[in-house]
Structure 1
């Protein structure tokens, strides 16, 4: 009798600088596993985004450490530092290929904001990305994704979440108490370690 093939673990991946991690990231990840049947969501912190000029960017190991420290209360949301073991530039297609090689027991789903999907055709080897993984697109304010999406791309009906890392960094520089926008304890950690309020 032929042995049954085990189902792969459906794992969402959110790639970004997480500069810093905030509740918007957590809420989107939470929505994806709660409503889109993902078993886990991995937050993949990049040492440097290919399009990023590096202004106001906290050190990569600091950002990775923040994810490791403040994702703990969320058992289905995990940080992933795979890009720290890859060579730059850190293109998404290279990350996906490395993930599939290292975790053959998982099926990966790329999670993208609607703003990123609007520019997705400019991404390095964007067609190859779509051939490697399916994509779930979460809504952004004023974005107008049509219904004519490729077969393996779907826009989800998630609540609009308009918190940005830029907003968080600027608020900290202005000495504003925004602890409710961050996972518990992260605001104090950022302030005490003078990560953005130098």
Structure 2
């Protein structure tokens, strides 16, 4: 079984996350997409980041009708601060019969060379990259350095996927909730109800 790993704080998970994850599992050779909820880094200020298990629960609510999308708290069990390579090694040991791949936005691909042991990641794992509008706009305007993307262009491990360009951000949602704006269309129904019931992001 081939598993795509979609990492995020999901603070909160929104319809954009679901659109990307579902597109990846329906239009590539991935059998499942695991939504890897990133835990709070104890070395960083918590700010607006909800408790780990609230965010995990919202991912469960959001994906319950998508059998190929699976929430996971795998990183909650790893020492912090954690790096993606550590998670990958752990998963390889725990699920020896599975093949794992990374799902990331084009903006993350352009900073991949800054990741810990990125050469090992590229050597051993496939990458499924979806487009990001801000990356394309900056490159088109000559404001972004696209050399990293060029460096990785001919790497057989990198798959550029023609996924929908979704520019909804969790930051935008949090700010609008705080400002008493209606964000219900941007969230799965049960996620919105959970946020509203618990008065999350209102302060």
Q: Could you say whether these structures have the same fold, taking a TM-score greater than 0.5 normalized by the shorter chain as the test?
A: yes
**RMSD (Å), alpha carbons:** 1.8
Please give the per-residue CA displacement for 1:60-102, whole angstroms capped at 9, x wherever unaligned.
1111111122210111111011111111112100011111111
Matched, 1:195 2:200: yes
CA shift for structure 1 position 184: 1.9
Q: Where in structure 2 are the equivalents of 1:18-57 lying within 5 Å? A: 18-48=10-40, 53-57=45-49
| Contact 1:45/1:79, CA 8 A, preserved across alignment | yes
CA shift for structure 1 position 50: 9.2
> Higher mean Cα deviation, 108-117 or 175-184?
175-184
Aligned length: 190
Structure 2, unaligned stretches of length 5 or more? 137-148
**1-structure distance, mates of 2:86, 2:42:** 12
| Contact 1:12/1:40, CA 8 A, preserved across alignment | yes
Q: Could you say which residue in structure 2 is the equivalent of 1:175?
A: 180
Q: Could you say which residue in structure 1 is the equivalent of 2:166?
A: 161
Query: Higher helix proportion, which one?
Result: 2
| Contact 2:63/2:69, CA 8 A, preserved across alignment | yes
**1-structure distance, mates of 2:123, 2:92:** 13
Structure 1, unaligned stretches of length 5 or more? 1-8
Alpha-carbon distance change, 149 to 195 in structure 1, aligned in 2, over 3 angstroms: farther
Q: Could you say which residue in structure 2 is the equivalent of 1:116?
A: 108
Q: Could you say which residue in structure 1 is the equivalent of 2:190?
A: 185
**2-structure distance, mates of 1:14, 1:173:** 27
CA shift for structure 1 position 191: 1.3
| Contact 2:61/2:190, CA 8 A, preserved across alignment | no
TM-score by length of 2: 0.87
Q: Could you say which residue in structure 2 is the equivalent of 1:79?
A: 71
**2-structure distance, mates of 1:195, 1:37:** 37
Q: Secondary structure at the match of 2:12?
A: coil
